[in-house]
Amino acid sequence: MPAPLRTLKRWGIRGTHFGIVAAFTLFTAFPFYWMLITTFKQTRDLMTRENNPFLFNVPPTLEHLRVLFFDTLYGQWLWNTAWVGVVVVAITLLLAIPAGYALARLTGRWGEQLGIGIFLTYLVPPTLLFIPMSRVIADFGLQDSLWSLVLVYPSFTVPFCTWLLMGFFKAIPRDLEEAAMIDGHSRFGAFVKIVIPISIAGILTVVIFSFTLVMQEFVYALTFISNASQYTVSVGVPTFLVHGDVYFWGSLMAGCFIASVPIAILYNFFVDRFIAGFTVGAIK
C-alpha cells in the first residue's frame, strides 16, 4: 500500500476512534450537564416551552440551592447517607472478605454451590422482604433509627460481595500462600500479607458497589424511617421536593447532582481497578 494511503487509513482509524469516544463522552456527561443547568435555571425559564432547554434564556439563579439547603434538611440527609454508607461498607468488608476466601478455598463442589446459593439471596427483591424485615426492626426497637438501615443493608451487600470476592480469590494461585507459609507465616498471616494486597482491585470494587447501593436504596429507608431528620438523600429529596403534582425541578436536580458527583468522581479515579475487580484482570 502506498505511503499516502497508509497515512490516510491511519488518520481515518484515529478519527473514527476519536469520534466514538467523543460520542460516548457526550452521552455519559449529558445527565450531569442537564442536572447542572437545571439547578441554576429560573423557574419561568424551565416552564416556558419556547425557550431553549439546553441554554440559559434568562439570567441564572441560586434560588433552587437556597430552597434545597435552607428549606429542607438536605445537609443532614447527606450526613446520614454518608454515615450509613461507611458503616455498611465496613460491615460488608468484615463479613464478605473472610467468607469469600473460605468459599474459594473450600475443596469439592460445596464451595461453588454455597457461593451460588449466597448469590441467589441477593436476587430476592426488597419489595418481598421489607414486610418481614420491618417486623425484625420492630422487635429490635430500631424504628426511626439509622441503625435499622445498618442492620438491613448488609443483607443484600454481603451476598453479592461474597460471591464477587470468591471468584477473585479463586484466581489467586495457592502456591503463593503455601510459599508464604513455608517462610514461616501462618495461614492467616499469608492471607493478610499475600492475598489481601493482591486483591485490592476486588476489595475496592466491593467498597464502591456497596456504597452505591446504600445511596440509591429507597424501599427500606422509606419503610423503616418516618422522622425527617433521619432520612437519607434517596428518600428525603423526593419526599420534600415533590408536593402532590408540583415538582421543584431545580432543587430536585441540585440534590441529585450534589449526591451523584462524588460517586462519579470515585468511579473515574479508580475505574481501572474497578474493572479489574469485576474481570479478575489484576491476576497475571
187-206 burial, b at 16+ Cβ within 10 Å, e below that, comes to: eeebbeebbeebbebbbbbb
The whole-angstrom separation of Cα 168 and Cα 37 is 41
3-state secondary structure of 246: strand
The whole-angstrom separation of Cα 155 and Cα 122 is 8
**Domain closes at, from 42, 61, 80:** 61
Tell me, yes or no, whether 98 and 210 share the same domain.
yes
Domain that holds residue 141: 65-279
How far is C-alpha 183 from the geometric centre of its chain's CA atoms? 39
Grid cell for residue 170: 479463586
**Domain closes at, from 14, 33, 61:** 61
Tell me, yes or no, whether 34 and 165 share the same domain.
no
The whole-angstrom separation of Cα 223 and Cα 24 is 38
- Residuewise pLDDT in 10s, the chain (284 residues): 566 666 777 787 788 888 888 888 888 888 889 999 999 998 888 888 888 888 888 888 999 999 999 988 999 999 999 999 999 999 999 999 988 888 887 766 666 677 677 777 777 777 778 788 888 888 888 888 899 999 999 988 888 888 888 878 887 777 777 787 777 777 778 888 888 888 887 888 888 888 888 888 888 888 888 888 899 998 999 888 888 778 888 899 999 899 888 888 877 776 665 565 555 444 44
Residue 215 lies inside a defined structural domain of this protein: yes
The CATH number that applies at residue 109 is 1.10.3720.10
Residue 284 lies inside a defined structural domain of this protein: no
Q: How many residues does the chain have?
A: 284
Residue 90 lies inside a defined structural domain of this protein: yes
What is the value of pTM for the model shown? 0.82
Tell me, yes or no, whether 209 and 167 share the same domain.
yes
Residue 173 lies inside a defined structural domain of this protein: yes
How far is C-alpha 205 from the geometric centre of its chain's CA atoms? 9
